[in-house]
Every structure is written in C-alpha cells, then in structure tokens.
Chains A and B, each alone.
Chain A
Amino acid sequence: DMKVTQMPRYLIKRMGENVLLECGQDMSHETMYWYRQDPGLGLQLIYISYDVDSNSEGDIPKGYRVSRKKREHFSLILDSAKTNQTSVYFCASSLEGKGDTQYFGPGTRLLVL
C-alpha cells in the first residue's frame, strides 16, 4: 500500500524555537518535496530532494532547511521558528519527479506563537 507519512500531525511552538517535521515514504521514490499551504495561495514549494543528500531550493526556501540521509525519509527543519511560518506543511514523493504522479502525506498543521 503506497503511503506517505508525516509526523507530527499537529504542532504548537513558540517563536524562536526549533521545529522538526518528518516525512516518510515506503515506495522507494527518488524525489521528495516539502510544500506549505496558506489560504488563497495554494501550495508553495519549499524544497525538493532528488535523492539522498541531493536537495534543491524551491520557491520559498528562506527560513527552512532540509535533510535527506535515507531515501525513505525527508525532514524539514525550522531553526528559530517565526510566527509567519504558521501554516500547513505537506510532504510529497514521486518515483522520478518529472513525468510522474506526486503522492502527498496527510499534512502537518504548525502553529507558531
């Protein structure tokens, strides 16, 4: 059963705290993505990873970094979270990226106070 998982599903942090969002997939997909979704803006790409230790900035990478040490895991890190990083974060994966369907995780709702 093809699956993308995200942990945690809900998170409340204070401004300045560090945040770690985890994503996993069991499909051996090469390409993984982190998006954030805000009202009226659709989904915006934060980072894309083509494979282990092969990461590239998306459209809104500022304030974020990522880590991919294993093909099945892709982490999003916020060092010193800001209130404007309150959002819903989605992870996705695809087999090769180009020309392939993206499969999404259930999302993580982050509130930064």
Chain B
Amino acid sequence: GDQVEQSPSALSLHEGTGSALRCNFTTTMRAVQWFQQNSRGSLINLFYLASGTKENGRLKSTFNSKESYSTLHIRDAQLEDSGTYFCAAEGYSNTNKVVFGTGTRLQVLP
C-alpha cells in the first residue's frame, strides 16, 4: 500500500536556527497535510497542500507531487516549536484515507 517515509526521526535545534523536515512518498499523492503534536498531545493543523508552497510565519511547506515528496521548513526556531511533526498524505484512491508518516520529534534548545 501507500507508504510515507518521514525524516529525520528526531532533530535538535538551538533557538534562532532552522531546518527542514521531509516526507517521501512511495506512490504519487494527491495532497499532503502537516501537523504539529504539542507536549499536551494535541494535533495542530499546520498546512494542507495539493501543490506548490505555502508559508505561515516561520513555517514554510512545499509539496512536489511529481517527485513524490514534501518538506516543512522551520526558521528562527522558538522553544514552543518543540513537539512531534507529522505529515499525512492523501492518495488518488476513491476513499478519503490518508497515510501518516511516523513523525519527527523536534526539540528546540535555549
């Protein structure tokens, strides 16, 4: 079935720095959604993309359907950015199912 490979599995950043998270897809996906799961366990919607790039504050996400990947860039990381980030990809099947990556655990250090 459809698979989503998310990397890195864990990441530490110092405040003010940045990095990129990536999801690779084994099949062509219709859309991707990125979430942050905070320390309380809540899942927060970050982006939904069917193509191209979206930006919101210090976060930017790109979805390249043709090359089967999506990225989430974090710049000027803050302590509150700590948490686990998931991508979830939607395939072209007739169902409405999405497949989740296994997450990137981000720790922002002072």
Chain A contact residues, CB within 8 Å of chain B: 31, 35, 40-45, 48, 50, 56, 58-59, 88, 90, 94, 96-104, 106-107, 109
Contacts and interface: CB of A to CB of B under 8 A. Distances in A.
Contact of A40 (B1, B30, B102): B102
Nearest to A56: B95
Interface size class of B (residues with CB under 8 A): 20 to 34
B90 interface: yes
Given A42-B102, A98-B96, A107 B86 contact: no
Contact of B41 (A41, A59, A103, A106): A106
B95 A102 contact: no
A104 B35 CA distance: 10
Contact of A102 (B40, B41, B98, B101): B98
B24 to A, nearest CB: 14
Interface in B4-58: 6, 30-31, 33, 35, 40-43, 45, 48, 50
Specify which of B6, B98, B103 lies most central, judged by the most chain A CB atoms within 10 Å of its CB: B98
